[in-house]
Structure 1
Amino acid sequence: MRLLFAGDPHAQFRHIIDSAHQADAVVLLGDMEPTRPLHEELAPLLERKVPVWFIHGNHDADSDELWMRVWGSELAEQNIHGRVIELADGTRLAGLGGVFREAVWYPDPAAARGGEPAFRSREAHAKATPRQDRWGGGPHRRHWGTIYPSEVDHLADLRADILVTHEAGGYHPNGFSILDTLAQQLGVMVTVHGHHHDALNSSARWQAQGFKSFGVGLRGLSMLDTTDWTWSIVRPGELDQARAGRSM
């Protein structure tokens, strides 16, 4: 399959719709921020029966309206956060949306709690949240864009070929090594992330990691062909050139 990965759209979708004819499926990497329900934004793809999958980003929970446009969309079941789905060619795709936040879990030994979580699950956090601040049966709405240890633990027991995350892995200057561990536990060949608005990759570490990591930039588009696992940039991200020199 040819999988088209879309870096953070931030309310712009025309470039994805215009390029999707090259792909067998489209995967959005979060921070979509649709200005109307997501299924309406991507209606041309749905009319052409192009499979669409996504993970959410932190900004998709920035307001009640955004939450409803993503989690309340007719495409809500296409959110692969915390699960593995099988594509038409048998490729297994795992997803982990959202970001790490100190109020819940920031897996860094230098963090305030030494990397230990304040809450292991969304359910535990909801119980500790005043009733008036809960959203959709969970904690405060913004934490629908937060990663919980239980979600990572659940994925670690599964198997996949590709892992898509909003946060970056440990190769990235602002990434997290725990996502490398998760990728190894899943047994993936490739990880793909958004969030940082750059197109860095882990090429210097591929052999040591045991998998390849790719970033997709701001409104960028990249293609992965699962026939031979080749990666290509279809549309550079808007900040790719400015951020190309960042150290890994």
Structure 2
Amino acid sequence: MNPKHKILFAGDPHGDFKPLIAAVHQYKPEAVVLLGDYDLEMPLEVCLQDIVGLTQIWWIAGNHDFETPSKHKHLFDSALADKGLHLKVTEIAGLRIAGLGGIFLGRVWYPPQQPKWRNKQHYLHNQPAHTRHTAMSLKYKGAIWHDEFEALKTLKADILVTHEAPGAHRHGFDVIGELAAAMGVKNIFHGHLHENYAAIVKNNIKVVGVADRAVADLMGNCLVPPLSGLV
């Protein structure tokens, strides 16, 4: 196996997993990391049944994965639920990979603005009394929370995978590059914005954007071309 193919990164599938499945059969990676927005109509392991057992499957969530209870359930209650990388560092194929799922939400935290809430408990405590003890909505569950983001900064990793883009992209956020620098990361791979590109941010960190339905290798090479889709 070509070393640059030992981990593949899959851009937003939006329900179409065929390009990723084809890439796994062709390149035989040790692991694949999915970058969010699955639009699942069935559990994730069912969508990926052709490659379950052939490679390790890891993932972070995107904004679409919090749109409806069924999309959320098919990911977070799937047989691959324990393969989520959000807010932790996991050794995968010999590399430490950190994950940051979800998106910045103006009602929670939208950098460079200050966060609206210190943490989830602060938010819930300030809700009206009749709603204070109800479950947090999916939209808020899919947000990036400032305190959790800061806690991730204290860990060390080789690669950071995110749904949101860092400041290298015109629609990205500088704080993601700052997170990567604090963690000692060398590479960032992200989805969400449906563009294949490579750039460099501070500390010589390489950023690779992976388009919808596209698949990239460790060097940032696009192995499967993208198709048009929804953000």
The TM-score with structure 2 as length reference comes to 0.90
How many residue pairs get aligned? The number is 221
Asked whether the equivalents of residues 84 and 94 of structure 1 are also in contact (C-alpha less than 8 Å), the reply is yes
- Give the counterpart of 1:188 among 185, 188, 196: 185
Give SS of 2:39's match: coil
Deviation, structure 1 residue 152: 1.0
CA RMSD in angstroms comes to 1.8
| CA distances 1:109-159 after superposition (whole Å, capped 9, x unpaired) | xxxxxx111113233333344548843xxx211222110011211110000
The alignment status of 1:127 with 2:133, answered yes or no, reads no
Give SS of 1:164's match: strand
Aligned to 1:151: 148
Aligned to 1:43: 49
Cα 1:134–1:7 shift into 2, 3 Å: farther
Residues in 1 aligned to 2:110 and 2:59: alpha-carbon distance in whole angstroms: 23
Structure 1 gap ranges (5+): 109-114, 225-229, 241-248
| CA distances 1:77-134 after superposition (whole Å, capped 9, x unpaired) | 1110000001132x100000010011000012xxxxxx11111323333334454884
The alignment status of 1:20 with 2:27, answered yes or no, reads no
- Give the counterpart of 2:214 among 195, 206, 220: 220
Aligned to 2:171: 174
Residues in 1 aligned to 2:121 and 2:48: alpha-carbon distance in whole angstroms: 31
Cα 1:47–1:154 shift into 2, 3 Å: same
Instruction: For 1:1-248, list aligned pairs within 5 A.
Output: 2-21=6-25, 22=27, 23-48=29-54, 50-89=55-94, 91-108=95-112, 115-129=113-127, 131=131, 134-135=134-135, 139-202=136-199, 205-206=200-201, 208-224=202-218, 230-239=219-228
Deviation, structure 1 residue 33: 1.4
Residues in 1 aligned to 2:124 and 2:83: alpha-carbon distance in whole angstroms: 24
Residues in 1 aligned to 2:140 and 2:225: alpha-carbon distance in whole angstroms: 30
Residues in 2 aligned to 1:125 and 1:76: alpha-carbon distance in whole angstroms: 26
- Runs (4+) off by over 4 Å: none
Cα 1:216–1:134 shift into 2, 3 Å: farther
Residues in 2 aligned to 1:14 and 1:238: alpha-carbon distance in whole angstroms: 12
Asked whether the equivalents of residues 126 and 132 of structure 2 are also in contact (C-alpha less than 8 Å), the reply is no
Structure 2 gap ranges (5+): none
**Code of the aligned partner of 2:214:** G
The TM-score with structure 1 as length reference comes to 0.84
Residues in 2 aligned to 1:52 and 1:169: alpha-carbon distance in whole angstroms: 24
Asked whether the equivalents of residues 30 and 57 of structure 1 are also in contact (C-alpha less than 8 Å), the reply is yes
Residues in 2 aligned to 1:125 and 1:220: alpha-carbon distance in whole angstroms: 37
Cα 1:122–1:45 shift into 2, 3 Å: farther
Give SS of 1:27's match: strand
Residues in 1 aligned to 2:81 and 2:87: alpha-carbon distance in whole angstroms: 13
Give me the identity figure in percent.
35
